[in-house]
Amino acid sequence: MVRIDELKPTQSNPRAHTTNRIDQSSSEPVQANMQPQQDAAEDVVIVGAGLAGVGVALGLHRKGVRSMVLESSPALRTSGFAFMTWTNAFRALDALGVGDKMRSHHLQVQGYVYSTARSRSPSCF
Helix (H), strand (E) at residue 68: strand 67-70
- pTM (predicted TM-score): 0.50
Q: Are 73 and 96 in contact (CB under 8 A)?
A: no
| Sign of the dihedral through C-alpha 47, 64, 32, 24 | positive
Could you tell me which residue, 81 or 26, shows the higher pLDDT? 81
Give the model confidence (pLDDT) of 40-69 as tens digits: 577 899 998 888 898 899 989 999 999 999
